Amino acid sequence: MKFDRNSTTTDVLNDIDLSGKTALVTGASTGLGAETARALAACGADVTLVARSAAKLANVAREIQSETGRLPETAALELDKPATIRTFAADWLSRHEQLDILINNAGIMATPLTRNAEGWESQFATNHLGHFLLTNLLSDAIKAAGKARIVNLSSAGHQYSTVDLDDPNYQNRDYEALQAYGQSKTANIWFTLELARRWAERGVTSFAVHPGGIQTELGRNLEPEMVKQFEQLIEDRPDIWKTIPQGAATSCWAATSPDLNGKTGLYLEDCHISEPGDGDAIDGGYAPYAYDADGAKQLWELSNDLLGTAF
């Protein structure tokens, strides 16, 4: 069945049975993550909700149980704090043998310049490095699933910037919030490409997703001037905005659709495989550098260097 930008999570998951499947969703305390987790649970999946706030996660878990009859697990971690990711992964792996669906949904957008304890720029640290570490720490369970799928939330905003492999953390160049956001979203695509190359033999497939324009808490850290720009965009282009169930649909489609069997390493939007873009993030499509396989390999190596890992 063909779906489009108006399709919802209910539409794309119709007739999908996830009984016996295990799923994990980051950024699941609100917005797209909460809806994605709810939709997967409604199809029978055992879902783990991960986010910063334990209190918010508990509320979402209760809502999901009330609607689906299934109580998700919850765990708090902070993607820009590697120690919290390591602690979570060790605990989760002690109780689970396989992970069928990993939705790396969490993210921050166009924040003022901040750095974590390691000195990494916050958007690169949260949107890419945290998910790189989490995914690799869970790799044994992912590979044990047989035909696992990994979904990395990117954005049409990747068109704002490629990845500066020489200075990803803005130590030697002026910081621009949207450029840094774009860099982190391109990193999500490149991570997807390299996962596809490295893990294909274990039956693992990976997809990068642009969910579309959705008014969620993602913009909570925007500078006031940027808030005005987005408010004007909302007013000028009401046609480009989606509801949360529409925005989460492509993630759910990427995680479950039989149409994607045998495919991997692709950038998806509006519940289909994306076409090349024209350079305008609002119009969608992918940038010329999105499928840079060499860049993807180098980013993997850079991520290992920054984290002190050898994945």
Q: Encode pLDDT of 104-119 as tens digits.
A: 999 999 999 999 999 9
Residue 217 domain-assigned?
yes
Residue 112 domain-assigned?
yes
pTM for the whole thing? 0.94
**CA pair distance 264, 213, nearest whole angstrom:** 24
Residue 75 domain-assigned?
yes
Question: Is the pLDDT assigned to residue 52 strictly greater than 90?
Answer: yes
Question: Is the pLDDT assigned to residue 218 strictly greater than 90?
Answer: no
The CATH number of the domain where 274 resides is what? 3.40.50.720
**Tokens 């609002």 found at:** 282
Mean pLDDT of 157-166: 97
Residue 139 domain-assigned?
yes
Residue 263 domain-assigned?
yes
Active site residues: 181
Structure tokens at 250: 């492509």
Residue 4 domain-assigned?
no
Q: Would you state the pLDDT for residue 280?
A: 74
Residue 1 domain-assigned?
no
Mean pLDDT of 187-196: 98
What pLDDT digit, counting tens, does each position of 283-307 carry?
789 999 999 999 999 999 999 999 9
Q: Would you state the pLDDT for residue 222?
A: 63
Q: What percent of the chain has pLDDT over 90?
A: 87
Q: What contacts 24+ positions apart, CB below 8 Å, involve 219-223? A: 219/109, 219/110, 221/108, 221/109, 221/110, 221/111, 221/112, 222/109, 222/110, 222/111, 222/177, 223/110, 223/112, 223/177
Q: Would you state the pLDDT for residue 164?
A: 98
Q: Would you state the pLDDT for residue 36?
A: 98
What pLDDT digit, counting tens, does each position of 9-51 carry?
999 999 999 999 999 999 999 999 999 999 999 999 999 999 9
Q: Would you state the pLDDT for residue 89?
A: 98
The number of distinct structural domains making up the chain is 1
Interhelix angle 31-42/249-256, rounded to 10 degrees, is: 40
Q: Would you state the pLDDT for residue 284?
A: 84
Structure tokens at 174: 């002026």
Integer angstrom CA distances of residue 284 from 192, 197, 210, 273: 18, 25, 8, 12
Residue 63 domain-assigned?
yes
Q: 56: domain range?
A: 9-307
Alpha helical stretches, state H, the chain: 9-12, 31-42, 54-68, 82-93, 122-123, 130-137, 139-144, 177-199, 224-236, 244-247, 249-256, 293-307
End-to-end CA distance of the chain: 38
- pLDDT category at 282 given cuts 50, 70, 90 is confident
- Residue 276 DSSP class: B
Q: Would you state the pLDDT for residue 148?
A: 98
Structure tokens at 39: 């939709």
- pLDDT category at 265 given cuts 50, 70, 90 is very high
Q: Would you state the pLDDT for residue 283?
A: 75
Question: Is the pLDDT assigned to residue 236 strictly greater than 80?
Answer: no
